[in-house]
């Protein structure tokens, strides 16, 4: 993988973001997702790579495009695994809320965990606490560990948790320990990334969410020098069997950061769809102009680029709303 591929992947997330942003606030989450997926798939055809989707929109019989196993790129370039979420936050866009993004992670062939679409328990921290966390530790011990690593008092820590009934006990324990809790609705990729960026003020991400998003997050956290661990949470025998078919003899084994992303190199690209703490949303400037705000990172070099771009949509028919 190289710098050129990283920058090309941003073009893909930009296309998906602009296309899906046109559905912001319309209450139609499926249409927004379809728009992002179609735009992303179209742009992939121009990328110089031999890509294989390992995390996408579903199995072949579930998704017409960006399905697991689909080949992407023009065939002239590096062999890479691709994990995509064309629109992380379909409900966010439908309701006009904050923090929806279009995201892509890429790594060397075979380097990304082929996570099935099921629940995953996750924990993520920035570089200061790298190598010091364990998903097996009680949350109270983890809070103490992160406080020491970041040189903060416990009552100054901010821990981000998805606002779901399954996390109510976890939130109570965090508060009882004395740390602050920041709740969010959807979009746990951005929540994981926030732990690695000092300006967000987030020290720890913990909770249970989607496994595909967990692998995408792991690639981003690796690019930023942070740390992440996870554990799949199968809900039935069928999901447990899928884990075994992935090569996990113990479906509930602890997955280290290396298990999630085994290569030392990874690329993460994201473009904001709606306003967020990490990225601004797409702005339609009048006429045929749209402005995007993106981030692209590469683990091997540690490079982080924030990219603001203007797009002439009349030159890209797939970005246009055909209403």
Numbered residues of the known binding site for substrate: 88-90, 119, 164-166, 186-188, 210
Question: Hey, which residues does 121 pair with through a beta bridge?
Answer: 208, 231
Q: Can you say which residues are annotated as belonging to the binding site for Mn(2+)?
A: 33, 57, 85, 88, 213
For 147, other C-beta atoms within 10 Å of its C-beta total 21
User: Which residues lie below 8 Å from residue 5, measured CB to CB, with a gap of 6+?
Assistant: 47, 48, 49, 77, 78, 80, 106, 267
Burial 257-290, CB ≥16 within 10 A → b, else e? bebbbebebbbbbbbbbbbbbbbebbeeeeeeeb
Host H or E run for residue 139: helix 139-150
How far apart CA 89 and CA 147 sit, in angstroms, is 31
How far apart CA 188 and CA 142 sit, in angstroms, is 19
> Of 50, 44, 42, whose CA–CA distance to 79 is shortest?
50
How far apart CA 148 and CA 63 sit, in angstroms, is 46
What sign results for the dihedral spanned by CA atoms 35, 39, 41, 42?
A: positive
Q: Can you say which residues are annotated as belonging to the binding site?
A: 33, 57, 85, 88-90, 119, 164-166, 186-188, 210, 213
How far apart CA 323 and CA 316 sit, in angstroms, is 16
Return the structure tokens found at 143.
């809070």
How far apart CA 304 and CA 285 sit, in angstroms, is 27
How much is the CA Rg of the chain, to the nearest whole Å?
19
Burial of 158 (0-12, 13-18, 19+ CB in 10 A): middle
């Amino acid at each position: 993988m190289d710098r050129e591929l990283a920058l090309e992947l941003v073009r893909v997330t930009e296309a998906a973001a602009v296309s899906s942003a046109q559905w912001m606030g319309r209450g139609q989450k499926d249409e927004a997702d379809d728009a992002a997926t179609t735009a992303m798939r179209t742009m992939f055809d121009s990328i110089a790579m031999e890509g294989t989707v390992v995390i996408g929109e579903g199995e072949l019989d579930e998704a017409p495009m960006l399905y697991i196993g689909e080949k992407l790129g023009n065939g002239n370039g590096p062999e890479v695994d691709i994990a995509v979420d064309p629109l992380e936050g379909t409900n966010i866009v439908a309701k006009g809320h904050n923090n929806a993004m279009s995201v892509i992670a890429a790594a060397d062939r075979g380097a990304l965990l082929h996570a099935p679409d099921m629940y995953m328990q996750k924990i993520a921290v920035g570089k200061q606490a790298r190598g010091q966390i364990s998903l097996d530790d009680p949350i109270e011990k983890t809070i103490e560990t992160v406080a020491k690593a970041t040189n903060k008092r416990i009552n100054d820590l901010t821990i981000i948790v998805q606002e779901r009934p399954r996390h109510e006990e976890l939130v109570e324990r965090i508060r009882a320990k004395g740390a602050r809790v920041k709740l969010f609705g959807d979009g746990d990729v951005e929540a994981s990334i926030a732990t690695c960026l000092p300006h967000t003020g987030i020290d720890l991400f913990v909770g249970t969410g989607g496994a595909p998003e967990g692998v995408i997050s792991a690639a981003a956290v690796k690019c930023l020098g942070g740390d992440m661990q996870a554990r799949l949470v199968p809900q039935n025998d069928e999901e447990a069997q899928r884990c075994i078919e992935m090569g996990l003899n113990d479906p509930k084994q602890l997955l280290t950061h290396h298990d999630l992303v085994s290569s030392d190199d990874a690329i993460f690209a994201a473009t904001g769809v709606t306003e967020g703490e990490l990225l601004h949303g797409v702005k339609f400037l009048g006429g045929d102009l749209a402005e995007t705000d993106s981030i692209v990172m590469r683990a091997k070099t540690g490079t982080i680029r924030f990219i603001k771009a203007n797009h002439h949509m009349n030159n890209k028919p797939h970005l246009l709303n055909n209403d």
